[in-house]
Structure 1
Amino acid sequence: MGGGFGLNVDAHQHFWNLEKVNYPWLSQESEIINRTFEAPELEPLLRVNGIDKTIVVQAMDSYQDTEYMIDTAARYDWIAGIVGWVPLNRPEEADQKLEAFIRHPKFKGVRHLIHEEEDPDWLIRDDVIEGLRVLASYGLPFDVVAVFPNHLKHVPTIAEKVPDLKMVIDHLAKPPIKVGEIESWAKEISKAAEYTRVYAKISGLNTAASEKWTSEDLKLYIDVALEKFGAKRLMFGSDWPVANLAGDYHKVWTETNKVLDHYSPLEKEAILGGTAIEFYHLEGE
């Protein structure tokens, strides 16, 4: 299984070290993931499943988390890039920090835990819009942790207000797979996909499904995403170690591939690596 002659890229995984960084949200999670997860634990899983490169994505809105990822990425060649954090609601500070962070060649984008904000409309606040304009000025993309139905509707608004910004919707905005509902989500994902600078990640779907999920549970939603975005705007991500809440790395990889096996080799190659390489400007890949 894999992306043909191209590299297989896991475009969405995390690390956290509970002794180095504070992750308050983890205390609300199952003990399965409420512990330290670092690169040595992931490395053999990548090897077994044929993954060549990964993108490490922020797990906390803090400089400590971003600096921890930068330090980790410097020690492992298979980490192709990191998606860090800056305070988008403080545009001047964000500008200063981005100027420093982009000196690290593996700093490839920014994310904010918008789903942890009490205000579901945080993303479209004036100060955040200004911060996103700063981000766009550096040519860096924004990972949108849109959790349906609270945040996906804001993606077209951002696309209109910050037209130079490239965005990627994490986890297909967590569609309601568990209850088998698709229409309202499909309508909103279609609106977001109308903007050519908006991409999406086929990631985190297992934790939106029922406990005994299979590729069949994911297929309807991935098919909609392919129809609306096309393979060149879709990328695979494991969402490890969050994936362990409903399976494991191998199951996510193999079941996703069962869906992708219905697509053409070129489409599969794009989703499993090509899109991520282009979107995140992965050097030398």
Structure 2
Amino acid sequence: MSPIIDAHQHFWNLDRVAYPWLTPDQGPIHRTFEEGDLQADLDACGIDGTVLVQSADSYADTDYMLEVADRWPRVRAVVGWVPLTRPDEAAQALDRYRRDPRYAGVRHLIHDEPDPDWLLRPELRDGLDALAERGLTFDVVAVLPRHLEHVPVLAERHPGLRLVIDHLAKPPIRERGRQPWADLLARAAAHPNVYAKVSGLNTAADWETWSAGDLRPYVEHALEVFGAGRLMFGGDWPISVLAGGYRKVWDETVTLLDGLALAPADRARILGGTAVEVYRIPEIP
């Protein structure tokens, strides 16, 4: 039986790490969230393991996540951070971090960068090559159409790099829109080294009223262009607290997948198999 993996969750500790974006106006998520806050939800939903994803562009955040993984084996992989625009420093940091087999990849909060074309900066090329050479992934936080436009460019420049689009690039669910998101996602999916997460969709919908039905057209399109073999479920906790919480995200995702009448193998890929492959998660006993 395939393990069930949540491919996108966070922890943050306000006493240990600086998170410039996490200000009091974030309301219920402006506090420390650690494993004790998530354990019951994972147990209730039958989640075997998670991928812990960075929340700050800092070594401090990455070091903290690896410490959490040391004490909480439910974390099966960590997507951290290195300064990709400083490739020599990034390469040294990657060599240090990847001594830990749980260190699976890198993410940068590109949506917080003033430059919407940050992904295309020339100095980033060597940093992304360093990831590819070491078999690590790059998670893309594509919240603007401009960000998603860059994914095919990166896929062509770095064919050996596994690129993961977080949150299906935040489709316009609340507005019930489709373009340019749908065409841009299809262009990205045309490259076999690009994957995507069915995650964070609840906060792209109406926070109070969303359901599986609101998400369905967008997930159907993702399935059409990626196939189940390049999609993976993510709970996006504790951001998900803003719009229903972990268990609603899980329940509505399962309802959605059941309604799509997927083959068992495809369902298993989305709920764990793709994440195991992409993040090279060791076998779970």
Per-residue CA deviations over 1:180-237 (Å, capped at 9, x if unaligned) read 1113211000000000010000000000001210000100000000010000100000
- Is residue 2:41 matched to residue 1:41? no
Task: State how far apart, in whole Å, the 1-side matches of 2:203 and 2:166 are.
Answer: 13
Aligned to 1:126, what secondary structure does the other structure show? coil
Residue 29 of structure 1: how far off its partner (Å): 4.5
- Partner of 1:236 in structure 2? 233
**TM-score when scaled to structure 2?**
0.97
Can you give the 5+ residue segments of structure 2 that lack an aligned partner in the other structure?
A: none
Residue type of the alignment partner of 2:147: H
Residue type of the alignment partner of 1:232: G
Task: State how far apart, in whole Å, the 1-side matches of 2:26 and 2:12 are.
Answer: 15
Task: State how far apart, in whole Å, the 1-side matches of 2:68 and 2:22 are.
Answer: 20
- Is residue 2:179 matched to residue 1:178? no
Aligned to 1:142, what secondary structure does the other structure show? strand
- Partner of 1:116 in structure 2? 112
- Partner of 1:276 in structure 2? 275
- Is residue 2:221 matched to residue 1:224? yes
| Matched pairs, number | 281
Residue 92 of structure 1: how far off its partner (Å): 0.4
- Partner of 2:210 in structure 1? 213
- Is residue 2:6 matched to residue 1:10? yes
Identity %: 53
Listed as ranges, the matches of 1:115-194 within 5 Å are 115-194=111-190
Q: Do 1:148 and 1:175's aligned partners in 2 also have CA atoms closer than 8 Å? A: no
Can you give the 5+ residue segments of structure 1 that lack an aligned partner in the other structure?
A: none
- Is residue 2:82 matched to residue 1:83? no
- Partner of 2:257 in structure 1? 260
Q: Do 1:142 and 1:167's aligned partners in 2 also have CA atoms closer than 8 Å? A: yes
Aligned to 1:177, what secondary structure does the other structure show? coil
Task: State how far apart, in whole Å, the 1-side matches of 2:114 and 2:179 are.
Answer: 26
Residue type of the alignment partner of 2:191: Y
Task: State how far apart, in whole Å, the 2-side matches of 1:213 and 1:125 are.
Answer: 37
Aligned to 2:78, what secondary structure does the other structure show? strand
Residue type of the alignment partner of 1:128: L
Structure 1 residues 269, 187: CA separation in 2 closer, same or farther (over 3 Å shift)? Answer: same
Task: State how far apart, in whole Å, the 2-side matches of 1:74 and 1:56 are.
Answer: 12
Residue 267 of structure 1: how far off its partner (Å): 1.1
**TM-score when scaled to structure 1?**
0.97
